[in-house]
């Protein structure tokens, strides 16, 4: 059985992630298959809308194939670079796709799952949705357009999510605009069938089935987030959290002390640049330059070992402290690639 199922139902082109044992995490072949389907349907007059979901099991999409990325990073990094180049082309293709796209984020939506849902015109969350960009825990950074999406969230919420990897539920996703609609999971099959039959009514169909938003707990921390995560300097964020006596601030501080210092500094720089990036293509070009440098560094291998392989959650980061991550190191990571090596859209 293929890891991606593609079919046309009614007027809808359907892309269904089908790798349940890995929570539908994306590998290179899956990205290729999704790109091929989008290309096939681009000029097909019978296809009016694209629906992206998962076929079975939990989770919408838990991310990318990080074991492969870490294994490649331990060697020459070529497979990892090839995967990111294709994944980012998929992200960009969805962002610029002429036909309406709808993502059903029913379950875990992290990393690579964010990259294929946030470009969509309509983004449906459910009571099962769990959104996060937890890359700093494994020595990566919130890529797949994270610098674009997170930098456009209200206040400093994007910086908070990028650094801590905090998880959001469906109501929080709706409140922040990461989801356009919140639906009960039990209605999704009927909703998809209705949209396939009448794509022009998609927004009305979603609105008709939407449930009350409910409380979004993250909004109760909005003042603290904006104040404590105000700086684009990682040491200043840590200092602000240290100086704040609240239990919430101390919990965030404990989280950040577990994260890769290099990843945290890269993430803040990514969001700072992303807020004024002229186009999404420019964003992906920069993120590709950054990721090619990151996969040549030791933190990704160590992070995946600590969190995924050995599960001891005791990574030994290199550099080990924020102070040891120099501005010069960050500048080199963000430097443009040569024209021959730089990322290009599909």
Cβ neighbors of 191 (< 8 A, separation 6 or more) are 124, 183, 205, 206, 209
Catalytic residue among 107, 112, 158, 165: 112
Catalytic residue among 13, 59, 63, 64: 64
Cβ neighbors of 97 (< 8 A, separation 6 or more) are 38, 42, 50, 119
Catalytic residue among 65, 87, 106, 135: 135
In the residue annotation, 112 being an active-site residue is answered as yes
Return d(Cα 45, Cα 26) in angstroms, integer: 28
In the residue annotation, 281 being an active-site residue is answered as no
Give the closest residue to 48 by CA, choosing from 101, 1, 85, 91. 101
The alpha carbon torsion through 128, 134, 140, 146 (nearest 10 deg) reads: 70
Catalytic residue among 65, 87, 106, 143: 143
In the residue annotation, 10 being an active-site residue is answered as no
- 277: its two tokens: 């990036």
Contact 75, 100 (CB under 8 A): no
Intra-chain end-to-end CA distance of the chain, in Å: 27
Active site residues: 64, 112, 135, 143
């Amino acid at each position: 059985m293929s890891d991606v199922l593609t079919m046309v139902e009614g007027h809808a082109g359907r892309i269904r992630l089908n790798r349940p044992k890995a929570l539908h995490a994306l590998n290179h072949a899956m990205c290729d298959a999704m790109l091929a389907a989008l290309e096939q349907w681009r000029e097909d007059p019978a296809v009016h809308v694209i629906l992206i979901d998962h076929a079975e099991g939990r989770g919408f999409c838990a991310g990318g194939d990080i074991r492969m990325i870490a294994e490649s990073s331990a060697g020459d990094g070529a497979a990892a670079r090839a995967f990111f180049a294709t994944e980012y082309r998929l992200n960009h293709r969805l962002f610029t796709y002429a036909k309406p796209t709808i993502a059903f984020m029913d379950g875990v939506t992290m990393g690579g799952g964010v990259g294929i849902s946030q470009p969509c015109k309509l983004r449906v969350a459910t009571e099962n949705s769990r959104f996060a960009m937890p890359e700093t825990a494994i020595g990566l950074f919130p890529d797949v357009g994270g610098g674009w999406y997170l930098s456009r969230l209200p206040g400093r919420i994007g910086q908070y999510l990028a650094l801590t990897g905090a998880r959001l539920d469906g109501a929080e996703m709706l409140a922040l605009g990461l989801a356009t609609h919140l639906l009960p999971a039990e209605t999704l099959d009927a909703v998809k069938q209705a949209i396939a039959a009448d794509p022009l009514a998609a927004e009305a169909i979603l609105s008709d089935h939407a449930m009350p938003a409910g409380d979004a707990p993250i909004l109760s921390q909005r003042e603290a987030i904006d104040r404590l995560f105000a700086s684009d300097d990682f040491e200043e964020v840590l200092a602000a959290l240290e100086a704040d006596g609240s239990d919430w601030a101390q919990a965030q501080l404990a989280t950040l002390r577990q994260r890769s210092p290099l990843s945290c500094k890269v993430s803040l720089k990514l969001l700072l640049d992303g807020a004024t990036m002229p186009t999404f293509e420019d964003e992906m070009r920069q993120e590709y330059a950054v990721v090619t440098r990151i996969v040549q560094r030791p933190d990704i291998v160590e992070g995946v070992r600590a969190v995924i392989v050995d599960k001891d959650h005791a990574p030994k980061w290199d550099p080990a402290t924020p102070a040891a991550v120099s501005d010069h190191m960050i500048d080199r990571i963000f430097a443009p690639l040569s024209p021959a090596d730089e990322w290009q859209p599909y």
